[in-house]
């Protein structure tokens, strides 16, 4: 494992608790000979040297994210060209990506500084947005979503996999996600939960008109194309739930696995399945318990 000499910090804004934690963590790290850096606004607030985010991320060996899964997504977007390990610390409840609870921060950091940590590599998707006036390129950790505005009717999205026609979805929208994103919007839309290390691409229609239009999982080397056919409807392409772009009839979204990846530091305190049980409220504790002494299994 590479020696950690400097730590970068990303934080959810407007969280006074996070600022307090950053100050304390900075002192704790410096006592152990490790430098700290943060985004300019945060650095100014805690009294650190202010440098642009682009410069900050070039000079760190690890990133600590204080916030929630949305803050991890923002950090991953900033770090897309630098696969430094990310430690996600949730200020609040546990997250699917921010697996470390606040009270576990320092035990986790101690283990990391000793080199005792494991990396969970998460695949990214490259998204090409082809439209009449040009092309834009993005990289996402969770998903690319084509969805209609609140008052729009169902939209038609012609979908291909590796150049072969899959179907034309008549739906509220379409989600193209990574396994990491399978527990985000994909899950709300009835898509499958996919274990993060199973590299694949998930295609999930949102409220399809035809009930036989079901989610489908395709190989990681597949290229998925989705073309908007509907006119006069309000439609947007949303990337990781944080970037939104208007779409018009004829615009096409092309999605494939990125050559880059995000390196998340795995929690030493709980497994992925424990995070699932906690976040989704799965009631495993009732299984096998008897009711009223009659030998009946609780259901």
Beta bridge partners of 247: 235
Query: Which of 167, 163, 148 is closest to 232 using CA atoms?
Result: 148
69 flagged as catalytic: yes
Q: Choosing from 59, 69, 81, 221, which is the catalytic residue? A: 69
293: CB partners within 8 A, 6+ apart: none
**Residue indicated by tokens 């999982």:** 217
Beta bridge partners of 281: none
CA dihedral (92, 98, 102, 107) in degrees, to 10, reads 160
What CA–CA distances, in Å, run from 62 to 34, 79, 116, 167? 11, 11, 14, 43
DSSP letter string over 124-176? EEEEEEEETTEEEEEEESSEEEEEE-TT---EEEEEEETTEEEEEEEESEEEE
Active site residues per annotation: 69
């Amino acid at each position: 494992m590479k020696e950690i000499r400097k730590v970068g910090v990303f934080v959810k804004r407007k969280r006074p608790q996070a600022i307090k934690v950053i100050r304390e963590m900075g002192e704790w790290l410096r006592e152990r000979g490790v430098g700290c850096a943060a985004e300019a606004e945060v650095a100014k607030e805690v009294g650190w040297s202010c440098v642009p985010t682009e410069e900050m991320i070039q000079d760190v060996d690890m990133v600590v994210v204080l916030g929630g899964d949305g803050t991890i997504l923002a950090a991953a977007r900033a770090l897309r060209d630098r696969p430094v390990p990310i430690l996600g610390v949730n200020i609040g409840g546990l997250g699917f990506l921010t697996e470390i609870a606040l009270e576990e921060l320092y035990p986790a950091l101690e283990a990391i500084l000793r080199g005792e940590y494991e990396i969970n590599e998460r695949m990214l998707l490259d998204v090409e947005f082809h439209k009449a006036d040009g092309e834009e390129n993005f990289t996402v950790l969770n998903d690319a979503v084509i969805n209609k505005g609140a008052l729009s009717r169902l939209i038609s999205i012609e979908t291909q996999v590796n150049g072969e026609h899959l179907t034309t979805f008549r739906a509220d929208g379409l989600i193209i996600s990574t396994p990491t994103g399978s527990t985000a919007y994909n899950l709300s839309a009835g898509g499958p939960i996919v274990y993060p290390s199973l590299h694949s691409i998930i295609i999930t229609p949102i409220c399809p008109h035809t009930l036989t239009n079901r989610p489908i999982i395709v190989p990681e080397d597949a290229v998925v194309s989705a073309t908007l056919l509907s006119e006069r409807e309000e439609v947007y392409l949303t990337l990781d739930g944080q970037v939104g772009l208007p779409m018009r009839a004829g615009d096409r979204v092309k999605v494939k696995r990125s050559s880059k990846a995000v390196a998340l530091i795995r929690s030493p305190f709980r497994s992925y399945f424990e995070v699932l049980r906690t976040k989704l409220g799965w009631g495993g504790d009732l299984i096998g318990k008897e009711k009223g002494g009659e030998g009946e299994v609780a259901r």
